[in-house]
Amino acid sequence: MSATIPTAAVDTDAARQLLIDLVDTPSVTPEEEAAAAVLVDFFEAHGREVWVDDVGNVRAPADDGVLLTSHIDTVPGDIPVRVETMAAGEARFGGESDLLDAAESIDVLWGRGSVDAKGPLASMAVVAVETGASFVGVVGEEVDSRGGRYLVEDREAEPDAVINGEPSGWEGITLGYRGLLGGNYVATSESGHSSRPDDNAIQDAINWWNRVEEEFDPDDWVPVFERVTPKPTSIDGGMTEDGLSVEATMRLQLRVPPEYTTDEIREITDGHLENGTVHWDDRVEPVMMSPRTEPARAFRAAIRQEGGDPRLLRKTGTSDMNVYADSWDCPMVTYGPGDSDLDHSPNEHLPLPEYDRSVAVLRSATETLLEE
């Protein structure tokens, strides 16, 4: 690591305060500026070079042996921000090991983004300051990954390793995400009396979607991660204003496992078209990393060092890790505190002892990778 990169110890109280400040600062996509300013202040206070780029990412470049990155934005949802003292057994931890007595009193942070993903974001900012690793807080992950996409286009060189921040539980290491294919189906038919047997555009949309669902109908024993999951997200149809046609529009998504590419899924779904067209406008390739990479090994060792039992995870959604893996040929994992079942939920909360442990795990894994 270069001697020109300043490092500084961040104690537990300061690390927790950064997290609380971030959660207390709303950052619903695309309004991330205020939370970005919290991160900028944190890095400047610790002597690190930092700036906000053209799309709103917070960038603190340093040792590219490791790039620590998580997202600043959250989904909407008004959850009063507070720290409550609760029994450990009543809080939702993102890990399996019971290192606390169920009756022990702990502090729990409530608020939108406490899990997804300001817990991971704050822990990465803290560890970047402590170790001298590179850091980027990206924008737009909850909508279109505009921050992550800009980052891979704008950086001159790829990092040696990427640790992406999303809730995995402090003992979890996420190695894979399904991809995403999204688009709009559009069909038009001539108007006619509803008693006629001919299918109209609405029926064309329904019939096509039924064929797509049948194509990807899995056996019950196939894990969700390995399935193609088709999902209509909206549908609109009816008579046009001039009364001469029937139109139908369906917004759809298909989650794509690593067995396929998005192009392969597009060809399969287009092959079932008889009427209408699909305008595909959203593609994210799936990713699956080996458990034998240096980052995966470093995290397994770090979790065991903190008394945990490492769990290797595959997520059925997508994240910015998909974007990075599609552009950078380097090993990566996703890691962060929190129970991902609380993502976007009305009771989103993060036990602060879990956050503390994740900081310790992340610090140890990052130091190991920077030394290699």
Q: Which residues carry out catalysis?
A: 73, 141
For residue 117, the SS3 value is coil
Pick the closest to residue 95 from 166, 169, 168 (CA basis). 169
What is residue 17's three-state secondary structure? Answer: helix
Compute the distance between CA of residue 297 and CA of residue 116 in angstroms, rounded to an integer. 25
Q: How do beta strands 287-288 and 172-177 pair?
A: antiparallel
Q: List Cβ neighbours of 90 (8 Å cut-off, separation of 6 or more).
A: none
Do residues 95 and 171 lie in contact, with contact meaning Cβ atoms separated by under 8 Å?
Answer: yes
Token pair recorded at residue 364: 């140890």
Helices assigned H by DSSP within the chain: 12-23, 33-45, 118-131, 146-154, 201-215, 262-270, 294-305, 320-327, 352-371
**HSE of 331, CA atoms in CB hemisphere, 13 A:** 13
The residues, ordered by sequence, that sit 6+ positions from 195 with a Cβ below 8 Å of its Cβ are none
Contact 71, 165 (CB under 8 A): yes
Q: Rounded to 5 degrees, what are φ and ψ at 342?
A: -90, -5
Distance CA 321, CA 175 (A): 9
